[in-house]
Amino acid sequence: MPADADDLASVVEKTTVLIAGVEAGQRGLPTPCPEFDVAALVDHLVGWLRMFAARAAGDEHTEDPTAYRCGADPAAEFAEAGRRAVAAFRDGAAERPVRLVSSELPGTMVLGMMLIEYVGHGWDLAVATGQPVPFTDAEAQAGLDAARGMLTPEYRGPDKMFGHEIEIGADAPAVDRLVAFIGRDPRGQHVTA
């Protein structure tokens, strides 16, 4: 079943809770995503969601999401951008092209990218901060289905956006299969909700 705005709304809500659950002393902790400590991962999550939300709404967005730094309440920033993104997809962004950084992509592809991003990095944040991984099998499966349709070998490896797929059983929970597909080893890594 393809991803929809309800999947995105639920994933954004759960990721907001994860961001709100980060304690001040955890900001410098490493995450399973080797590029980011907890603080940098939160900046990444918020900066990219602001860009996705603006572009899905058809607005110009000139702010560099990779340079974004959160203010005093990152969870509120993330929630606000999430509401805007969900509203755009409920208003038809999935049915039209959406311009991202340098090109237009089908809206359904952008929605799938967002699920990969926020379930995958939400998992990273939960693992790094000892929080339960909150995503349902249906949400993670929608992200995994999108990833399988988009993630080709040229995007994998050292100095690439994704690691090589980790072998994991087909009977593993969908969130584990998604994070393994994007190059993380989920075995023994998370607290269940």
Task: Give me the CATH number covering residue 109.
Answer: 1.20.120.450
Contacts of 91 by beta carbon, 8 Å cutoff, 6+ apart: none
Domain that holds residue 9: 5-192
Could you tell me which residues are beta bridge partners of residue 43?
none
Label residue 74 by pLDDT band (50, 70, 90).
very high
Q: What percentage of the chain exceeds 90 in pLDDT?
A: 76
pLDDT in the model for residue 191: 46
Lowest mean pLDDT among 12-21, 45-54, 114-123, 183-192: 183-192
pTM of the predicted model as reported, rounded to 2 decimal places: 0.92
Among candidates 115, 95, 117, 116, which has minimal Cα distance to 106? 95
Confidence of residue 1 (pLDDT cuts 50, 70, 90): very low
Q: Residue 159, Cβ neighbours under 10 Å: how many?
A: 4
| DSSP result, the chain | ----HHHHHHHHHHHHHHHHT--GGGTT-B-SSTT-BHHHHHHHHHHHHHHHHHHHTT----S-GGG----S-HHHHHHHHHHHHHHHHHTTGGGSEEE-SSSEEEHHHHHHHHHHHHHHHHHHHHHHHTPEE---HHHHHHHHHHHHHH--GGGBSTTSSB-PPPP--TTS-HHHHHHHHTT---TT--EE-
Q: Tens of pLDDT along 105-134?
A: 999 999 999 999 999 999 999 999 999 999
Computed over its alpha carbons, how large is the radius of gyration of the chain?
Answer: 15
pLDDT for residue 164? 79
CA-CA distance, 162 to 178, in Å (whole number)?
A: 12
Total domains in the fold of the chain: 1
